[in-house]
Structure 1
Amino acid sequence: MSYKKHYSRYLAQHPNTLHCAPHSHHYWPDVTRDAQLQYWDDSARGVDHKWDIIFGERVPSVQQLLSKLLNHPYPEQFVFASNTHELLYRVITSFDPKQPLRVLSTDSEFHSFARQIKRLQERNNVELTTVPTEPYETFEQRWLAATEQGTFDLIFTSQVFYNSGVVAPDLSTWIDQVPAATQIVVDGYHGCGAIPTDLSPYANRIFYLAGAYKYLQAGEGCCFMAVPKGCQLRPEYTGWFADFANLAKPQTGTVSYANDGMRFAGATMDFSALYRLESVLLWWQRDALTVAAMHRYVQQLQSEFLVVLDELDHSQINRTHLLADNLDHHGHFLTFKLKNAEIVEELAGRLRAAGVETDYRGERLRFGFAMYHDAADYQRLKNALSRD
């Protein structure tokens, strides 16, 4: 079955391109265009009262849809922001800056965390323990050993690592040994909408971050966080949305917060991306297009892609350079680790000149897979790489 018809507008703009970078910039399905226009119409209809429409209708709708998508029992615990960094930093500012902050993480986190924690380490009271993800064969064992220390205020880890596509150890293998006072944040950006995810066992325990830019296919500007049920943290970095229901009341005394996920909300943002996200999730619901079904489709594409590479027998882009732990349980992109960044850049340039868009970070070349691909598309690689 081909799903290309759902992406006709984007594909029409790039008829001679095989877009193998959906893990970086995902094509938007056609339903998102009507949703964008609906945001304009709702803004015109509501004007000063458009927040009643957004918070009274659209936000609850997307909360419900995400709750179903992730099997999270508390829709009201989902809060939205323009980016995940904003939400992450609110969690961090819930800690007293005068007190020591002990953090456990890995060496494979996206810049939203990696850059921020590096800056915070310029304080003399922030201590970071970093577990290298490579070699992947022993990562789970080393990660479990680190979590057993039980001395951290914050644990931050990805669901799927952005620089490899490798899936992190399942929460069930380590969460029970973490003290209740330790806050746990899971970056689900490369897992949400790609890997079947069940948050029901952890809804009272973890912060789960994700957004619409990748596999939720709705573009930039709509990220979200599932906040643990009953969370009473008071982020110092806060905005007027965080107690929206009580804005009309006198703002005296101690700063108050909502008793649901909105306590981590910020301030005015462009909600058009929320409309686009709603349209994608409603399309999936109408067509009974589950994450599990999409994951199986992408796994088939990855298998076909690797068959083409085997036939090519390329000196660089081959299975020996593939970063993976278990391809049966892997993210929606494949990463090849080559000798140096210069080789990667040269190969990415050649592929782009042949109409194959990839994505690279240093010595790592990444190929992503999407519902707007067919297995036959990967035959184009033979033209792009056959000279080697």
Structure 2
Amino acid sequence: MSARTLVTGIGVAAPSGLGVEDFWAATRIGKNAVGPVTRFDASPYPARLAGEIHGFDPGEHLPGRLVPQTDRVTQLALVATDCAFEDAGLAAGDLHPCDMGVVTAAGSGGSEFGEAELRKLWSQGPKHVSAYLSFAWFYAVNTGQIAVRNDLRGPTGVLVGDQAGGLDALAQARRRLRKGSRLIATGGFDASICSLGWAAHLATGAMSTSDEPERAYLPFDEAASGYVPGEGGALIILEDEESAAVRGARNVYAEFAGYGATLDPRPGSGRPPGLRRAAEAALADAGCHPAEVDVVFADGAGVPRLDREEAEAITAVFGPHGVPVTAPKTTTGRLGAGGAPVDVVSAVLAMREGLIPPTTNVESPAHDIDLVAVRPRTASVRTALVLARGRGGFNSAVVLRALD
């Protein structure tokens, strides 16, 4: 039997807070962080709201030479990684660099950096394009920069699966631990609030065009009309149980207990979506009965058809109103590859406090689920299921379990 995989450190960079404590202080009460776009002029576009991280100055956190080489998404990833390693209590020399690796998820690379350099190409010519463009907008850049900055010489990788990719990265990290690594830094980040990224979001046809921050993104609500994009993500330290014990890990938040993933059938096939099977596979992998689950952190697409499919999957596994369900991402918008890792952080913090954060702004739930809406709910949280879906039919699910 494989040793348990433990969450021993967390770092987060989200619109609701930079750093775990600020993030949780806002998330636990459902403080809204969605507002008008400020990072570029969105007035010509039909959608003008986003979850932005305000007040972030990379120069306050990173070496000056690194800032011009990196996109905002990488800067956020590096800062969250610093927080996660500090939280894990890891000091230089605790583990050999070859025993540590990094696996991240991304929806895209440095969109803002890429857009700026393309503008130079069009207006000034190729000689004016930064050499750093060669990697700054590459989707694997966060993995590379995290590995270099933290001297992680073990297995590395990147997964691309939109929102679902964030959970897939954690699962890949667990695989690497089972193959002999002692620690893997893992998670996901996206930051595409620029005109180039905005065009990609609009192309999905699923964005909310509401100008009311409190009514724009309403998953599982009768008034759901699309999603609001956000920026950021989370970095999570996963360790083999034995390794964590040997080095004396000061924080052990939870066990990464189970994982499942499926791909939806092609549209028009008449076959059901795969989210239910992903959830059941994750529960089976964890050896967990549905009755043991205390909360589901939902994907919460905010699109009526997708919300209905997710609600049907949840009720098929747990029964109507059979388990508390929450989607705290209503306060931040959907963070792409960063969204599900942030939900994992919320889940382990819910275990720590015994409180389920609310699905803010949802006032008229439209499905047979026990949605924790408007206000937080006090509850003993020992086991949590996190769900994520990505464009293209990706479905992923993770089970987290508190340690006795």
Which of the two has higher C-alpha Rg?
1
Shorter-chain TM band: under 0.3
Question: Counting helix residues as a fraction of each chain, which structure ranks higher?
Answer: 1
Question: Counting strand residues as a fraction of each chain, which structure ranks higher?
Answer: 2
TM-score, normalised with respect to structure 1: 0.25
